[in-house]
Chains A and B, each alone.
Chain A
Amino acid sequence: KNQVEQSPQSLIILEGKNCTLQCNYTVSPFSNLRWYKQDTGRGPVSLTIMTFSENTKSNGRYTATLDADTKQSSLHITASQLSDSASYICVVSARVLTGGGNKLTFGTGTQLKVEL
């Protein structure tokens, strides 16, 4: 069964500090892994997307890593800001072998709160 697990479930950090969020998955056949940021009550916004051959990808203060062998990914946030407070969702895409396309499996997210 395809699963995506994220940790921690929630996290509180001080503004300016760094943090790392984890994502472990059991999805196959693997197609790609995405990290999304979702503000409360709003639609998710894509941060990064990585395929099997990519180990790291950055988007400003966000850096995602992928270890396809251990099926783990992390999202590192540098110099956190109050506006980083949101839910961060890991999404793993599996190829649909018949008919093409991808099936997405969502993690339940890490709720990050950045405080003064």
Chain B
Amino acid sequence: DSGVTQTPKHLITATGQRVTLRCSPRSGDLSVYWYQQSLDQGLQFLIQYYNGEERAKGNILERFSAQQFPDLHSELNLSSLELGDSALYFCASSRQDRGFQETQYFGPGTRLLVL
């Protein structure tokens, strides 16, 4: 158990819909990262937040957005869903982010299926 929790574990929805994925980082971790992993593909970095502020952006679509709240939990919002958005969405957390080497701890993931 990494200490990072994600809900829900599974999500099935239809095209055009909007969903929200939730992540609670490990206690004391200020950075939260979101990743997408499609079937048989590598992890794609989406976005990172540090202490409530956006820190880095990866290959995140405009239909997707995220935020980190004062209690440090984070939500990833996916809207106008398409079939191709079906994937595993991972959240990871780390203690800090100032260019220091650090380990990211990954949550169990949310499996999204868009029908």
| Interface, chain A (partner B; CB < 8 A) | 31-32, 34, 41-46, 49, 51, 89, 91, 95-96, 99-109
Contact = CB atoms under 8 A, between A and B. Distances in A.
B13 interface: no
B56 A103 contact: yes
Interface string B89-114: 01010000111011111111101000
Contacts of B99: 31, 95, 100-102
A96 B48 CA distance: 12
B44 A100 contact: no
Contacts of B97: 100-102
Contacts, number: 69
B42 A106 contact: yes
A103 B41 CA distance: 19
Given A32-B101, A44-B92, A96-B55, 17 more contacts: A34-B104, A43-B4, A43-B92, A44-B43, A44-B106, A99-B55, A100-B97, A100-B98, A100-B99, A101-B48, A101-B55, A101-B99, A102-B56, A102-B97, A103-B56, A106-B42, A108-B41
Contacts of A31: 99, 101
Given A102-B99, A105-B45, A109-B42, A43 B108 contact: yes
B106 A103 contact: no
24 contacts: A31-B101, A34-B103, A34-B104, A43-B107, A43-B108, A45-B2, A45-B106, A46-B103, A46-B104, A46-B105, A49-B102, A49-B103, A89-B43, A100-B55, A100-B97, A100-B99, A101-B48, A101-B55, A101-B99, A104-B33, A106-B42, A106-B43, A106-B45, A109-B42
A21 to B, nearest CB: 14
Contact of A104 (B45, B103, B108): B45
